[in-house]
Amino acid sequence: MANRSRRKRNRRAVRGGIGQRIAVGLSTLVLVLCAASITFGLFVRQTGADGKARPLRVALLNGTGIPGIAADAQAGLVRLGVEVVEVGNAERFDYRESILVARKRGGEVSLLGEAIGCGHVVRQLDREAFEDASLILGADYRALKLGWKQEKDLAE
């Protein structure tokens, strides 16, 4: 009889241990995500020539031919702390994949690419460029993590 009560206590202890492990794991995950968010914010806001902190400046270009998607993407970038300095069309509309082009700040641009899920980050550094980067939206624009407001298609 005493053996049965010990087994029940042991089962309860094991179940409690699993719950504690899950809680510790979730807490660790939350801490890592918070640290990543703070780190991203520190990298995106860099010091300008006047000594004041300024956000990453990005030119946002539509390379799909679908009207209005660059304007929709602007809100998502602004939520990330990015200053969108230009919204317009790319030179052509046949981009299959979105491209993030670093013009001045390569490291911060790479972090932005990771944050929005853009797999193609290219460095074309140019000291004369006003913007720090250019984001050219391609046919895969919906895969970018920019909080799209509505569905857009070629029928519009």
Question: What is the number of structural domains in the chain?
Answer: 2
Residues of the chain with pLDDT under 50: 42-45, 151-156
Judge if 66 and 103 occupy the same domain.
yes
Q: Is residue 34 in a domain?
A: yes
Q: Residue 57's domain spans which residues?
A: 47-143
Q: Can you give the pTM of this predicted structure?
A: 0.64
Amino acid (1-letter code) at residue 57: R
Which pLDDT score, from 0 to 100, does residue 97 have?
Answer: 95
Q: Is residue 149 in a domain?
A: no
Q: From edge to edge, which strands make up the β-sheet containing 121-123?
A: 83-89, 57-62, 133-137, 99-102, 121-123
Q: Is residue 151 in a domain?
A: no
Judge if 54 and 117 occupy the same domain.
yes
Compute the distance between CA of residue 70 and CA of residue 2 in angstroms, rounded to an integer. 71
Domain stops at, among 10, 26, 44: 44
CA–CA–CA angle 137, 54, 144 (5° rounding):
20
Judge if 74 and 124 occupy the same domain.
yes
Compute the distance between CA of residue 148 and CA of residue 138 in angstroms, rounded to an integer. 14
Compute the distance between CA of residue 38 and CA of residue 112 in angstroms, rounded to an integer. 13
Judge if 15 and 65 occupy the same domain.
no
Q: Biggest alpha carbon distance in the chain?
A: 84
Task: Name residue, tokens 């539509």.
Answer: 62
Q: Count the Cβ atoms, other than its own, within 10 Å of residue 120.
A: 14
Which pLDDT score, from 0 to 100, does residue 17 have?
Answer: 73
Tokens of 148: 């799209």
Compute the distance between CA of residue 58 and CA of residue 113 in angstroms, rounded to an integer. 12
Judge if 7 and 38 occupy the same domain.
yes
